Amino acid sequence: MPRPFLTNSDGHRPVCLRCQQTSRDCQWSNRSARGLGSRSSTTPDSSLTTRSRSAEYVSTKDPEKALRNPHIAAIFRYYIEHLAGWYDLNDIKRHFGGMVPSCARKNSLLLSAILAFAAASQSSSFLKKDLWDLAESYHLESVQTLLQLTENPDEFRTGETLAAICLLRSYEIISQNVNCQNHLQGSYSLLASRPAGLETGLLSAGFWNYLREDITVALIEKRSLMIELSHEHLPPTVEEEDDLANRITYILGKIINRCLDQNASPLEQNEWHSFNDELDTWRASLPVSFEPIGTPGLYGQSNFPCLWTVSGWHASSLQYYHTALAILSVAEPMQTGINTLQQIKRINDFEKKLEHHAVQVSALAISSNSAPVWVNSFGPISFCGPWLRDSQRVHELIQETRKWGSKTGWPVMSIVESLSRSRSGR
């Protein structure tokens, strides 16, 4: 179940970075003081909109009418052709590339969320100011619609709503900062009243996407997840390869919550061994198709081994596996009663382990040549990359991270800075 949202706060609502910068009043799901019930579900109120809208803005109140606008249709197609794969990385049924665009033709929230995310991605990648204005307009429209939907839980708790929340979370990451997601955490909490692992279809696909986004930000910020994970979230059976991808996502999420919580106590020996056993069991269950193929020189010269995979979920799953092992290496309970020479050996072995996991995570990203894999790699790279000891490898990883940040519009500066600090410390 999700963590209670701001249950220990002082009663004041946080203000997100963008609202703070533009002197806006952040809107929340408690509407008694806002009088939101009388507002249109598709047009943000004037208090939210301080900058003028792009001339190309078309309301999504009538999705089919909006898609008859060539500019809007082009942005919609950009999502289908270039961005949906980010969400279908671990989904053999490709819900976000097939079902989500189909549902958006009659769901205004989903369409506005797609347009906000796709326009922001294009704006960041191609530095187009008019697309940023448009992205902001559709983001505001989406937030307003989400607020109104919270008044009717039965209409709110749908796969379409969760898919929209995933898209809007990506928008907020791309357009502002990875730690500015205040608008969406409360919305997700309302949706998560039932275990998503027991759901099917778009609601399940949305949950796993939300979890992967949460993992990415948590690894970059070195903190626990925004949501808690129970055993009910674990896929009950493994029927397809993507179930194995979801299983390692769940295991990594549990390890992050246990080990990266700033208030957590050190792991006990039995806990540490239990997590290791889970990872060993998962690794032993993989079919041969998950094994990376080593082809030296396939993508030219590199300081990393060329480890490419047949499918994107193979690469992302193995990266999560190595990231989980890296976290457990750091969290391993301290041994007692060892002398100085034994301690030196322990430290050397520790650094070799962490470097090995960093090389595997980095190599799987660099060899993938895939935007969905790279977007999912930013978290593991941020956590594991600083353990690389070869300065040439660090330099190459920085260059590749910048390149894919530019291609995808993802904000990678904090990752680059973390890698740069590790290089300067060598």
Least confident of 120-129, 162-171, 251-260, 384-393: 120-129
Q: What is the pTM of this model?
A: 0.83
Check pLDDT > 60 for residue 75.
yes
Cross-strand pairs, 308: 293
Highest average pLDDT, of 51-55, 157-161, 332-336, 401-405, comes from 401-405
Contact 142, 157 (CB under 8 A): no
Burial code (b: 16+ CB inside 10 Å, e: under 16) for 243-262 equals ebbbbbbbbbbbbbbbbbee
Question: How far does CA 302 lie from the centroid of its chain?
Answer: 27
Q: What is the pLDDT of residues 262-304, one digit of tens each?
A: 998 999 999 999 999 999 999 999 999 999 999 988 888 899 9
Average pLDDT over residues 138-156: 84
pLDDT at res. 330: 95
pLDDT at res. 150: 78
Check pLDDT > 90 for residue 385.
yes
d(CA 340, CA 333): 17
Average pLDDT over residues 92-105: 96
Amino acid at 233: H
d(CA 58, CA 40): 14
- Secondary structure element (H or E) that encloses residue 308, with its range: strand 307-308
pLDDT at res. 337: 78
Q: What is the pLDDT of residues 32-71, one digit of tens each?
A: 333 333 333 333 333 333 333 444 799 999 999 999 999 9
Q: Which residue has the tokens 């408690």?
A: 30
pLDDT, greater one: 46 or 162:
162
Check pLDDT > 70 for residue 389.
yes
Confidence of residue 235 (pLDDT cuts 50, 70, 90): low
Check pLDDT > 60 for residue 1.
no
pLDDT at res. 289: 95
Average pLDDT over residues 204-213: 91
Per-residue DSSP letter, 226 = S
Check pLDDT > 50 for residue 241.
yes
Highest average pLDDT, of 89-98, 179-188, 331-340, comes from 89-98
Q: Which residue has the tokens 């009388």?
A: 38
**Percentage, residues of the chain above pLDDT 70:** 79
d(CA 86, CA 374): 9
The rounded mean pLDDT for the chain is 83
Average pLDDT over residues 165-189: 69
Contact 171, 135 (CB under 8 A): yes
Q: What is the pLDDT of residues 319-374, one digit of tens each?
A: 999 999 999 999 999 877 788 888 888 889 999 999 999 999 999 999 998 999 99
pLDDT, greater one: 202 or 195:
202
